[in-house]
Amino acid sequence: MGRNRMGRWGAAAFVVMGLVGGTLLPATPAAAVHGAVPGDFNGDGYRDAVLPAPGANVSGKEAAGAVVVLYGSASGLSATRRRTITQNTSGVPGAAEAYDRFGSATATADLNRDGYADLVVTSPYEDTTAGANAGAVTVLWGGRNGLTSGTSLPTPSGRPTSYGLDVAALSTGAGARTRVMVAGWDAAVEFAGPFTRAGGYGSVAVHDKTPSLESTALGDFDRDAVPDPAVATTRGGGMTGGSLYTTLAHGEELRGEGLIVAAGDVNGDGYADLVSGDPDEPEVEGVDGASGGRVLVWYGSASGITKDAKPVQITQNTAGVPGASESGDAFGGALAVADLNRDGLADIVVGAPYEDLAKSRAGMVTVVPGHRTGALGTGAYSFSQDTAGVPGGSETDDFFGTTVSVGDVDKDGRPELLAGASGENNSTGAVWVFPGGNARPTTTGSRMFTASSVGLTQYNGTDLGGHGLLWVI
């Protein structure tokens, strides 16, 4: 199966689009790209993993969506220590309805600063009084008994569309230093603390000058202890990827493109750096992308990240990076930034869900370590289902690397790497957990969680682990 530069849905899926109120509206659903990092929701000292399943059927409602929480412990994660949360769960706002896709995007942070991690969950195709597919965002509040209650984060936008396509949350301190960013087709919506368990927040702003978003992230790019936003729009203007902004205003586009963004301190200078994944095939090689996909890195500074800053490019042809750039790999189709080797520098985790291995579009995940000096790429390594010790085996259209995240779930100080494969087992999906090792995650003791292993038994389309960018690449 070939892919053109518009992705596996093909250009035809994007022909029927129009401008409504200045916002580009899609004929098909857009992506919801990020999954939550593990967080300690019950305060037992172990971080708990979040496995979204936005395609899960709930009480006969197709693709109403669910989130499965696997509780951390000294022995890691187990399918027997879990809780499944839907909009029919007591204490959760709303009700499960067909195609809400609850769990499409998730984010973790201690929003109310009570010592328990909280989970933000989106359902971007929720029908509300604002209209069909207006979208909704729910905060599930952590506590001694875990995630037992929730409140809504309503958008003040007058005409919301797919509110909750992506979400980011970050707390660098009390009050306004705790923020939630929500991406939608009409705008980016930014909430600032203080947040309360009753659903209160300090302020909210609608950024409607950068609509038609695919992804959002938060990072302290200028080291002022206040989270700064970053967004990626959908494709436009004949370029690969979409436009990228850290100043959310028309004309402030960064130099470079992408469909997904993440943040972390890659070079250890104290400033968060912005990373984007640009998995599209270029129209003109070297001008607006790279064959096989690419990742771009902008380094933070006292001035933040300005539109004139030139990014560093990483591809599979970069020295030290495993594999080779091949047309259609979709390198950069998933993204996370976190310190996996405990050297104080954030590493870049890159999904290439269309990577051909023994089988077509089996997928691969590559980790590019952070460096204080020198070129990025040195010391990079990869995982796939063909890697020795990894459960399962590569099959056509598994899309291993659909989603990626990082977090220490067994409290040994060595973070685990989590990788999703949306196409596994008839698109019911699966998530692999690679235990943290002395210098990097290891396949020894790695585990594979399928939809059926966590109690989701429908025949197809569960999307355990999330569907990431697969609807648009």
Residue labelled with tokens 């790429």:
377
Q: What angle do CA 166, 167, 170 make, to 5 degrees?
A: 155
Contact by Cβ (8 Å): 194, 179: no
> Is the peptide bond prior to 194 cis by the omega test (within 30 degrees of 0)?
yes
Rounded Cα–Cα distance for residues 69 and 56 (Å):
14
In sequence order, the 6+-apart residues with CB closer than 8 A to the CB of 235 are 6, 14, 241, 242, 259, 280, 472
Q: Identify whether 168 is part of a domain.
A: yes
Tokens of 54: 């936005």
In sequence order, the 6+-apart residues with CB closer than 8 A to the CB of 43 are 115, 116, 142, 143, 144
Tokens of 402: 């659909």
Ranges of the chain whose pLDDT falls below 70? 1-32, 237-238
Strand runs (DSSP E) across 301-444, as ranges? 312-314, 334-338, 347-352, 364-368, 381-383, 400-407, 416-421, 430-434
In sequence order, the 6+-apart residues with CB closer than 8 A to the CB of 286 are none
- Could you tell me the residue range of the domain that residue 153 belongs to? 37-454
Helix (H) or strand (E) run with residue 7 in it: none
Q: Residue 198 sits in a domain of what CATH number?
A: 2.130.10.130
Tokens of 210: 């950068």
Segment 45-49 long-range contacts (CB within 8 Å, at least 24 positions apart): 45/411, 46/71, 46/72, 46/73, 46/74, 46/409, 46/410, 46/411, 47/72, 47/117, 47/407, 47/408, 47/409, 47/411, 48/72, 48/117, 48/146, 48/409, 49/77, 49/407, 49/409, 49/418, 49/431, 49/433
Give the model's pLDDT for residue 288.
84
Rounded Cα–Cα distance for residues 109 and 125 (Å):
24
Q: Identify whether 238 is part of a domain.
A: yes
Q: Identify whether 466 is part of a domain.
A: no
Amino acid (one-letter) located at 157? S
Strand runs (DSSP E) across 78-154, as ranges? 82-85, 106-109, 118-123, 136-141, 149-152
Q: Identify whether 27 is part of a domain.
A: no
Q: Identify whether 320 is part of a domain.
A: yes
Q: Identify whether 250 is part of a domain.
A: yes
Contact by Cβ (8 Å): 185, 204: no
Give the model's pLDDT for residue 32.
62
Q: Identify whether 190 is part of a domain.
A: yes
For the segment 286-335, what is each residue's pLDDT rounded down to a tens digit? Answer: 778 999 999 999 999 999 999 999 999 999 999 999 999 999 999 999 99
Tokens of 165: 């396509």
Give the model's pLDDT for residue 34.
81
For the segment 68-107, what is each residue's pLDDT rounded down to a tens digit? Answer: 999 999 999 999 999 999 999 999 999 999 999 999 999 9
Domain count, the chain: 1
Contact by Cβ (8 Å): 110, 117: yes
Tokens of 184: 């939608």
Bridge partners of 219, per DSSP, are 228
Q: Identify whether 469 is part of a domain.
A: no
In sequence order, the 6+-apart residues with CB closer than 8 A to the CB of 462 are 53, 55, 56, 427, 428, 429, 451, 456
How much of the chain is in helix, strand and coil states, percent to nearest 5? 5, 35, 65
For 211, 334, 377, 403, 461, the CA distances from 34, given in Å and listed in that order, are 18, 8, 23, 7, 18
Tell which residue, 87, 112, 106, 89, has the closest CA to residue 97: 87
Phi, psi of 20 (to 5 degrees): -125, 115
Residue 274 CB neighbour total at 10 angstroms: 29
